[in-house]
């Protein structure tokens, strides 16, 4: 059975329907870049390698948003092969993704965001409030509907050996 994108979009336009999306991203550390998480620059820490500014937290939020709406993922909207997005701010990517989503779902209302950053360093707890404020501003969502938390990988795997970090995000929205 072949499902056409237009058919899926038509079925999803039921106003008031609640949707949930899951986003994931991971990047290697790079000493040549600055670290940006949730649009907040983190001093004295290696940055992340990537085509844009590599803000993996925002990338996970974007994919959670797009996933909740069954829209193309971040790699389709902002392909790493497109020079337009080279070193682009992930704030701009999020803004563009929100605009793309609202053009298709004019009554879109974000409900909550739950973001987990998985890293041995930096420690996320001292940065949490700034990240929540930043997300609240970008998403036009009250801070009490946003959760940011940090988890380690207990020294296991590539995250545990401090080669990089990962992010998971769950987002709910009403269309």
149 has a pLDDT exceeding 70: yes
Q: What share of the chain is helix, strand, coil (3-state, %, to 5)?
A: 35, 30, 30
Q: Per-residue confidence at 1, pLDDT binned at 50, 70, 90?
A: very low
Helices then strands, counting H and E runs in the chain, come out as 6, 5
Q: What is the pLDDT of residues 38-89, one digit of tens each?
A: 999 999 999 999 999 999 999 999 999 999 999 999 999 999 999 999 999 9
3-class DSSP state for residue 168? strand
* 117 closest CA partner among 33, 24, 21: 24
pLDDT > 90: percent of the chain: 90
Q: Per-residue confidence at 9, pLDDT binned at 50, 70, 90?
A: low
If you classify domain 18-174 with CATH, what class do you get?
alpha beta
pTM exceeds 0.85 for this model? yes
**CB 39, CB 46: distance < 8 Å:** no
Q: What is the pLDDT of residues 78-121, one digit of tens each?
A: 999 999 999 999 999 999 999 999 999 999 999 999 999 999 99
* Separation CA 142–CA 33 (nearest Å): 31
* Separation CA 53–CA 34 (nearest Å): 8
124 has a pLDDT exceeding 70: yes
């Amino acid at each position: 059975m072949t499902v056409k994108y237009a058919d899926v979009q038509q079925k999803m336009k039921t106003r008031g329907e609640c949707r949930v999306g899951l986003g994931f991203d991971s990047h290697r550390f790079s000493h040549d870049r600055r670290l940006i998480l949730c649009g907040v620059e983190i001093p004295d820490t290696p940055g992340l390698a990537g085509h844009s500014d590599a803000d993996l937290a925002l990338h996970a939020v974007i994919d959670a948003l797009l996933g909740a709406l069954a829209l193309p993922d971040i790699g389709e909207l902002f392909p790493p092969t497109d020079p337009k997005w080279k070193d682009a701010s992930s704030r701009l990517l999020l803004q563009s993704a929100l605009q793309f989503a609202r053009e298709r779902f004019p009554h879109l209302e974000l409900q909550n965001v739950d973001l987990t950053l998985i890293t041995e360093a930096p420690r996320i707890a001292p940065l949490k409030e700034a990240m929540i404020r930043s997300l609240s501003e970008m998403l036009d969502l009250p801070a009490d509907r946003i959760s940011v938390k940090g988890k380690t990988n207990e020294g296991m795997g590539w995250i545990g050996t401090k080669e990089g970090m990962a992010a998971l995000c769950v987002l709910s929205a009403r269309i």
